[in-house]
A = this chain, B = another copy of it.
Amino acid sequence: MLSEFSLISRYFDRPLRHDRHAALGIGDDCALLTPASGMQLAISSDMLVEGRHFFAGADPAKLGHKCLAVNLSDLAAMGAAPLAFTLALSLPEAVEEWLAPFSDGMFRLADQHGCALIGGDTTKGPLNICITIFGEIPPGLALRRDAARAGDDIWVSGTLGDARLALAGYRRELKMDAPMIEACAGRMHEPTPRLALGCALRGIAHAAIDISDGLIGDLGHILKRSAVGAALNVDALPAGPVLARAPQDLRRRFTLAGGDDYELCFTAPVSNRIAVLAAAHRSATPVTRVGSIEAGNRLRLVDAQGGALDLQLDSFDHFSSP
């Protein structure tokens, strides 16, 4: 059994590279971060609990990736560039077979985005992983949820629903064979935070959010905070490659309310359509136009012909779900 301090030094305490910002990392009462002059800090915390956000016995390398990815996705949704993060970890026991792949998976993604681990905490307890992430963005350019305007286009990045489809396979809600589950499971276990797109949309998009609890619920947050309504073309939603072959009803439900997508939903003025496509091209991220912001406060679901759809759907809520 490792001690708390050897655990930290063995798996988490890496020399800070010649980092622009982190002045002092792991091993003191606090980390020290020197923000670039004039920049705002974007800060987000996500807590992932075993049995709730991931299965007991989940692959630790993928889990390391995912815990950081969901936080990076929050930075992406603000248009912020990653700087650093802290990791607080509650573990039933400190075993190498878990810690080594977990930290590898996490650092692989961190290194892709130049995001340094600068501090945190470890304790014994039920498995719980809490990352707090720090990014930077020039003042006034953050993509806020309250900035959608009537007339804006609604866009989503990438594809939706394959993570939810994998979950349905694991839970045997649907009859899916192992290769089919495997084909969509990558979206569930190792989501891709859309950081390049988020930064490229600064000054072009109005509002943005990352789709973690399902598009319908997350778009709902934009509508509520911006005091607007929307028409959403359900049949325009880009389904993941596996889900795209599924029946229409399933496709509609899982693209609308699937959860765990970690794509961006954003709004932008019609006059910025070309600029949005150019930002998508620059960031090598596909985007699809899926609806319009409207006056009022209703979210109208429509089909490809513009006809009203009445689907019973709910977004995920951690305290009302079983």
Using CB atoms and an 8 Å cutoff, list the residues of chain A in contact with chain B. Answer: 1-5, 7, 23-24, 27-35, 37-38, 40-53, 74-75, 77-78, 80, 86-91, 93-94, 118-126, 128, 130, 132, 134-135, 137, 139, 142, 144-146, 208-210, 225, 317-321
- Given A29-B209, A78-B28, A209-B29, verify A88-B317 contact (CB < 8 Å): no
- Give Cα distance in the complex from A32 to B134, angstroms: 10
- Given A3-B317, A128-B90, A318-B122, verify A145-B32 contact (CB < 8 Å): no
- Given A88-B47, A132-B132, A139-B34, verify A318-B124 contact (CB < 8 Å): yes
Contact A130 B88 (CB under 8 A): yes
The one of B33, B93, B208, B210 that contacts A41, using a Cβ cutoff of 8 Å: B33
The one of B33, B37, B49 that contacts A90, using a Cβ cutoff of 8 Å: B49
Beta-carbon nearest neighbor of A2 in chain B: B319
Contact A93 B47 (CB under 8 A): no
Contact B49 A125 (CB under 8 A): yes
- Given A30-B78, A88-B130, A128-B128, verify A45-B120 contact (CB < 8 Å): yes
Contact A34 B41 (CB under 8 A): yes
Contact A319 B93 (CB under 8 A): yes
Q: A28-B144, A46-B88, A124-B319 are in contact. List 6 more A-B contacts (CB 8 A).
A: A29-B78, A30-B75, A30-B77, A30-B135, A43-B86, A44-B86
Residues of B within 8 A of A77 (CB): 29-30
- Given A78-B28, A128-B126, A318-B122, verify A43-B49 contact (CB < 8 Å): no
Contact B52 A40 (CB under 8 A): no
Residues of B within 8 A of A35 (CB): 35, 41
